[in-house]
């Protein structure tokens, strides 16, 4: 049977994140959900799969249930489908950061780049004075990216700061339009660049997944497939599973197929 997949995140103050782990794990297990959820002081990040009802109940708990007490009222959320269960187990993990930049002073709740809706993205990245920047890892970029985007050639997001220091200049790169799978890496990366003195930093709201969901293929500037961190491996326009892709094949190439979080 088909499964519903939810990819989600929100930067929010969760000083009690350690105490939230076991109740959240038990709640997910009770709904027979599988996937991975990360909890940290700065918020929540994850991708899970289950029945339609199970996912709906999970999302309702995050947004309005007593567990988080209305702290996740601005949840960034995307749904897709999987022909088979794309995860082998359920994991709820505690982390220093919900996406690892390696700089805990960066706080997207205080300062973040300008969000750009999918409908406006093509026009922005076509502008001659805009530098398109893919903030994802090299193996993800190799599978697909936007036309003309800069590939930072990093092995992990933690190397983004080093890339920026070597290759980006606030005086030269006046307008930067960055993107990532679901949006979370751009939250951190845009906040970091603004703190370094870059004047105009934009990022694709909802990430590549939202763009592929909303943009007709004939109007798209995306080329290739979008890697996702589960056994579906990659999604195309309309968030359709890539035919013939095998998680084991990507895993042999070095991609963390069971990371389960979308970033």
- Look up 180 and say whether it is catalytic: yes
Q: Measure the CA–CA gap between 192 and 208, rounded to whole angstroms.
A: 20
- For residues 45 and 99, the answer to whether their CB atoms sit within 8 Å is yes
Decide the pairing of beta strands 144-146 and 43-50. Answer: unpaired
Q: How far apart are CA 86 and CA 70, in angstroms?
A: 29
Strand partners, 39: 44, 94
Contact partners, residue 211, CB within 8 Å, separation at least 6:
118, 121, 179, 204, 220, 222
Which positions ≥6 away from 51 have C-beta within 8 Å?
3, 4, 31, 32
Catalytic residue (choose from 180, 186, 226, 257) = 180
Q: Are 262 and 235 in contact (CB under 8 A)?
A: no
Per-residue b/e over 38-56, b at no fewer than 16 CB within 10 Å?
Answer: bbbbbbbbbbbbbeeebbe
**Distance, CA of 130 to CA of 135 (rounded, Å):** 15
Local structure of residue 242 (DSSP, 8 states)? P
Query: For residue 238, which of 208, 263, 204, 200 has the smallest C-alpha distance?
Result: 208
Q: Which residues are catalytic?
A: 180
């Amino acid at each position: 049977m088909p499964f519903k997949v939810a990819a989600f995140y929100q930067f929010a103050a969760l000083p009690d994140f350690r105490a939230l782990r076991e109740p959240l794990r038990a709640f997910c297990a009770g709904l027979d959900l599988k996937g991975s959820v990360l909890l940290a002081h700065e918020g929540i990040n994850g991708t899970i799969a289950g029945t339609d009802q199970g996912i709906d109940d999970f999302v309702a708990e995050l947004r309005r249930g007593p567990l988080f007490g209305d702290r996740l009222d601005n949840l960034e959320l995307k749904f897709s489908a999987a022909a088979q269960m794309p995860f082998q187990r359920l994991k709820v993990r505690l982390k220093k950061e919900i996406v690892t930049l390696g700089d805990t002073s960066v706080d997207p709740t205080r300062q973040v780049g300008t969000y750009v809706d999918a409908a406006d993205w093509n026009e922005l990245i076509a502008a001659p004075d805009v530098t398109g920047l893919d903030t994802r890892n090299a193996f993800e970029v190799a599978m697909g990216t936007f036309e003309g985007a800069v590939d930072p050639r990093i092995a992990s997001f933690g190397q983004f700061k080093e890339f920026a220091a070597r290759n980006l200049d606030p005086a030269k790169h006046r307008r930067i339009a960055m993107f990532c799978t679901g949006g979370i890496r751009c939250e951190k990366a845009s906040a970091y660049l603004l703190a370094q003195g870059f004047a105009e930093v934009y990022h694709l709201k909802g990430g590549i997944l939202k763009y592929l969901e909303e943009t007709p293929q004939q109007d798209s500037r995306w080329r290739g497939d979008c890697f996702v961190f589960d056994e579906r491996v990659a999604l195309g326009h309309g968030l359709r599973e890539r035919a013939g892709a095998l998680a084991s094949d990507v895993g042999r190439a070095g991609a963390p197929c069971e990371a389960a979080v979308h970033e």
